[in-house]
Amino acid sequence: MAGGADRAAREDGVAMILVVAWSVALMALALIVTQAAIRQIQPSGRSADASAALAAAEAGIDDYRARLQAVPTYYLNDDPTNAALHGWAPVPGGNTESEFRYAIDASRAGVGGEVRVISMGRAGGVTRTVEGIMSKRSTLDYVYMSDIETPSADLPGAYSTAANSGGSAGVTAQQLARLLCARRFYETGQVSPTGISPLTGKMRNLNFCQWAGIYSSERLRGAVHTNDVWRLEATSLVNTIDANAITSSCRSTAEGLQPGEAGCSGTHRYIETSYGYSNNGNGSTWNTTNTRYQGDAANPANGTDRTNRNPRYDSVLDLPPSPATLKKHASDSGCVFTGPTRIRFAEESGIGVMYVTSPDTKVTAPACDGADGTSFGTGTATNQVTRRIVLTDLTGIVIYVQNVRRSTESDDPDNAYDLNNRWAAGSEPSCAIKSGTRVYPFVIPNDATDQGYFSSGSTYKGFPSELANPASPWYGSSCSNGDLYVQGQFRGQVTLATESNVVLTSSLIDSQQVVGTTTGQPLASSQSTIGVVSNKFTYIYRPFNSSNNWVADWRTSNAADVKFNFAVMAIDQCFAAQDPYFGARNGNLYLWGSLAQKYRCVVGSNGGYNKQYSYDTRLARRTPPYMLELSNEPWQDDRVGEVTPLEQPVGMTPWPLLYADDVSATVGNVADTAGPATVAVIGTQAQVTATAPGLIVVTYTVTSGGLAEYRRLVILAE
């Protein structure tokens, strides 16, 4: 009995040992499985944190865009109430453990037309960084854009200035045009002279207000838009206008008409050029047949689009009220010239230069007055001063030409060169008597190349021609107006702006052209840009005498087949050819760039030009200095991408500013654009001193071959 009991006890002990062993084995196996599972879970958790961090970074982009849309100039200020500009801010309305912070690079907002937002998101210890580039709709998006598709009432020669030519006693056709034609076709308003019934209608008068059309013989490469209604030739325009490129702000019923608005048919959003129209010519007047204003011209009965290019609807794009913001930039860091001014651009040994004659300019910035500092105003009426100015010394600038300042004018706080450029009326060199009685020209370049554009018999060799009709409304009182006479080959980045007119005396082109081009096509790789902004007209110089004959001293070859590589904006008037009703055609007008204007004026009639317009795709990424500031449209995302910041500790770290292939390059304009840091430049290195953790942006330019390239460093200080 005892032996059996002992054996049973031993068996129980063995069983217990086996149970414990199995338990240990099972626990070990469970631990292994658990550890394996944990190892599998950990990457998934990190992946979730990375996704949350990316979402937080994108939320930062959204946050800043909303602020920029609410206040378009928000990028100009350091908002102390915005936590994301100074540290971490929680993602609103979501997981409060996710945060974002951002730094803003607005150094190119004016010059390049973009605001960059570098946004870092953080979740669970993981950070990710994205960059959003904000841009906005502007006239620079279009090869052609207009507010009103009819010539300005003030276009010289378009409407008669004879007494009673406007159909009422004492009213000229020009005065009537100012009343009837200064609105979009679909807007309501007066349609005939006072006293002639009916007085109101739903559309602009079709037989008095002049029209220009788009015809199959033309070529417009790029997007085109009008806030008005297009007038199109009723034939296929497939080879004239790019597919889906033409838009109008004339709405259809489906797009929501305002009370009283005539609107357009969504299937036929244009007026055909064949629709009755009897007022296209020099000095047009009102007559009893000028009554076609009620017909539903924009909506033919069958609604058929015969062009195969029916315009799409897009909202109104307003032009700025004036170029005043450009004047401030010119005063702060560019050039301000006074009175009639001549500029001829040139490239010399790979460097962009300009030759400037501005006899009424007493004082301007030192860099704008020539190498020897001689003032333009030290010249005389017949021996004016011309200075050579290097454009690369003035990278990304505005040149503003103002009217002669008078003693009755008050100080302009945005202009350092107004009161110190006063002249008594008639005393300024541009208006002084030159021989016998006061004669043209107002600007006489003391430059052999400029004088070579004239025939040898010319006495003054200036602008406008000494033989031009002094009564021509193209000149008027321009001996004291801020008119700019300009041509040449430019290299660099500049915007020209005037208080009055811009007169294109010949081609104005990029010095870097496609080899063999006959149309003035610039190289896609060129870094040069030029903007032309006139408060009034921008027009091509075609001088005629009082007998309406081409002047003898200005060579017609100067006006033949003109070529322009610019973004042009005529704020209150339009782009035109001078006296297009006179003389013979001067060939083709080739535009590679962008054209925007208040009115649609005449480029070719009996004289003038056949037009060929092509959009310069470089404008989508490189805008003329500060032109985009003229647009009041909201800022939008252009493109977003993830970036990897450089990393440094709090304190000083040197960073190289040049790449290995930067040969003969120089560094300039180094600045700490955003973040808790200061920067010093030692040779070609930036010594960045981070004063606290955060995102830091350092911007600079690298100049090589006479052109400046914008670069930046994005740094995370920890």
* Concatenated DSSP letters of 38-69: HHHHHHHHHHHHHHHHHHHHHHHHHHHHHHHH
Q: What pLDDT sits at residue 5?
A: 46
656 in the same domain as 608: no
b/e sequence 62-85, b meaning 16+ C-beta within 10 Å = bbbbebbeeeeebbeeeeeebebb
For 301, what's the count of Cα atoms within 13 Å in the CB-facing half-sphere?
A: 0
| Omega before 624 within 30 of 0, i.e. cis | no
Residue 640 belongs to some domain of the structure: no
Last residue of a domain, one of 593, 626, 659: 626
Residue 637 belongs to some domain of the structure: no
147 in the same domain as 126: no
User: Residue 361: beta bridge partners?
Assistant: none
Q: Six-digit token pair at 65?
A: 């865009």
Last residue of a domain, one of 259, 292, 318: 318
Q: Which of 327, 351, 354 is nearest to 343 (CA)?
A: 354
Q: What pLDDT sits at residue 19?
A: 46
Q: Which of 272, 158, 258, 149 is nearest to 202 (CA)?
A: 258
**Which residues of the chain fall below pLDDT 70?**
1-46, 94-96, 110-112, 197-200, 276-280, 290-302, 370-374, 393, 637-639, 706-708
Q: What pLDDT sits at residue 391?
A: 86
Terminal-residue alpha carbon distance, the chain? 81
Residue 150 belongs to some domain of the structure: yes
522 in the same domain as 395: yes
DSSP for 514-529 reads: -TT-SS-PBPTT---E
249 in the same domain as 196: yes
Q: Six-digit token pair at 384?
A: 């004016």
229 in the same domain as 120: no
Residue 635 belongs to some domain of the structure: no
280 in the same domain as 352: no
CB-CB contact of 530 with 343 (8 Å): no
b/e sequence 463-476, b meaning 16+ C-beta within 10 Å = bbbbbbbbebebbe
Residue 132's alpha-carbon distances to 36, 56, 67, in angstroms, are 40, 13, 14
Q: Which residue, chain included where needed, has tokens 């990424």?
A: 621
Name every residue whose Cβ is closer than 8 Å to that of residue 446 and which is 6 or more positions away in sequence: 357, 379, 383, 384, 385, 386
341 in the same domain as 312: no
Q: How many CB atoms lie within 10 A of CB 291?
A: 17
Radius of gyration for the alpha carbons in the chain, expressed in angstroms and rounded: 34
Taking the C-alpha atoms of residue 531 and residue 538, their distance in angstroms, rounded to an integer, is: 12
Name every residue whose Cβ is closer than 8 Å to that of residue 219 and which is 6 or more positions away in sequence: 239, 240, 612, 613, 614
For residue 653, what is the domain's CATH number?
Answer: 2.60.40.1080
Name every residue whose Cβ is closer than 8 Å to that of residue 521 and which is 6 or more positions away in sequence: 513, 514, 592, 614
CB-CB contact of 577 with 542 (8 Å): yes
Taking the C-alpha atoms of residue 446 and residue 459, their distance in angstroms, rounded to an integer, is: 13
Q: Coil, strand or helix: which one is 570? A: strand
Q: How many CB atoms lie within 10 A of CB 424?
A: 9
Residue type, 104: I
Q: What pLDDT sits at residue 662?
A: 85
For 177, what's the count of Cα atoms within 13 Å in the CB-facing half-sphere?
A: 28
Q: Which residue, chain included where needed, has tokens 């047009």?
A: 284
142 in the same domain as 131: no
Q: What pLDDT sits at residue 493?
A: 92
Which pTM does this prediction carry? Answer: 0.80
Residue 73 belongs to some domain of the structure: yes
Last residue of a domain, one of 135, 160, 182: 135
Backbone CA torsion sign across 425, 431, 433, 438: negative
Q: Six-digit token pair at 408?
A: 């009755």
292 in the same domain as 178: yes
Reduced to 3 DSSP states, what percent helix, strand and coil does the chain have, rounded to the nearest 5? 20, 30, 50
DSSP H helical segments within 428-555, as ranges? 448-451
Residue 638 belongs to some domain of the structure: no
41 in the same domain as 16: yes
Residue 636 belongs to some domain of the structure: no
Number of separate domains in the chain? 4
Q: Which domain holds residue 393?
A: 326-626
351 in the same domain as 206: no
Q: Six-digit token pair at 439?
A: 């004669």
b/e sequence 661-697, b meaning 16+ C-beta within 10 Å = eeeebebeebebbbbbbebeeeeebbebbbeebbbbb
Q: Six-digit token pair at 643?
A: 């970036």
Residue 49 belongs to some domain of the structure: yes
36 in the same domain as 146: no
